[in-house]
Structure 1
Amino acid sequence: MYQRILVTTDGSKLSQKAVSTAISLAGLCGAELIALKVVPRYPQTYFEGGIALAGEDIKQVEKAWSDAAQKVVDAVKKTAESKKVTSKAVVVRSDVVSDAVLATIKKHSCDLVVMASHGRKGIKRLLLGSETQHVLTHASIPVLVLK
């Protein structure tokens, strides 16, 4: 059925549900699991919402974010492998989560994406948009969204 399943995670409780489901599904299908965490770049200017920091300080912040993200996906990989599911832990730096997810789908030749809905409602959803919605409308493969 599926050969390679991509699961996105941010370490939240809702994304843990997506991870658990993806691991189970990968086990049933004999598929490889790709665990993805997208890390934002540090805002460089006041207009982007960042504080003016020295270049070296920005590198340290971004490294800390990347290291924390690596721990999240490594934990997914460890859990998957404990259930005999082959897996990879992937961290991507990008300011647009949905674009990073779509690029990872192509790079790893995934044939299913499992991700959590974000849970925003009302005006926040309208103003902030939805990364999940963007993936749903632009992915060329099935997307399983968990709430």
Structure 2
Amino acid sequence: MFKRILVATDGSTLSKKAVTSAIALASRHDADLVALTVVPRYPKSYFDGAMSFSPEDIARVEKQWADKAQGMLDAVATRAVASGVQLKTAIASSDLVAESIVAAAKKHKCDLIVMASHGRKGIKRLLLGSETQHVLTHSSLPVLVLR
């Protein structure tokens, strides 16, 4: 039924459950899996929410974030390979999480997006508007939301 599934993860407990379900679904359907995490951009000015820092400091912090994201995706890769699932990983650097998820699904020609109902931001995120809800309303692909 599905040929390529995108799973979005942020390392939260709930998104790890979504990864587990996505791997099982990909294995069941003999589908490829694309694991995506979105790393925020570092605020570069006061108007972006932080004081101004040197380019070296910004590069160091962004590298730390990217390394952490890669470690998270490496863990997904280990689990996928153990299940016999073909996996491609991707890191998007953007403050627009939902848009990045939808764009990655299109770029990788996925036919399903799997994600958690909420991530690290939990109830606070519900008050501000859910990335999951944004993906649901802006994706032309089916979205499987796990709780």
Identical-pair percentage:
56
Question: Could you list the runs of 5+ residues in structure 2 that have no partner in the other structure?
Answer: none
> Does 1:125 pair with 2:135?
no
The RMSD of aligned alpha carbons is 1.3
Residue pairs, 1:59-98, within 5 angstroms: 59-98=59-98
Q: 1:39 maps to what in 2? A: 39
Q: Which whole-Å deviations, capped at 9, do the CAs of 1:2-29 have from their partners, x for residues lacking one?
A: 0000000011110011000000000000
Question: Could you list the runs of 5+ residues in structure 1 that have no partner in the other structure?
Answer: none
| Secondary structure of the structure 1 residue equivalent to 2:17 | helix
TM-score (norm 1): 0.94
Deviation, structure 1 residue 116:
0.3
Q: Which whole-Å deviations, capped at 9, do the CAs of 1:109-132 have from their partners, x for residues lacking one?
A: 0000100011744x7524x21110
Q: What one-letter code is carried by the residue in structure 2 that aligns with 1:65?
A: W
Deviation, structure 1 residue 50:
1.5
Runs of at least 4 residues off by over 4 Å: none
Q: 1:105 maps to what in 2? A: 105
> Does 1:58 pair with 2:58?
yes
Counterparts of 1:125 and 1:7, CA distance in 2: 20
Counterparts of 1:142 and 1:22, CA distance in 2: 13
TM-score (norm 2): 0.94
Counterparts of 2:75 and 2:98, CA distance in 1: 22
Deviation, structure 1 residue 51:
2.6
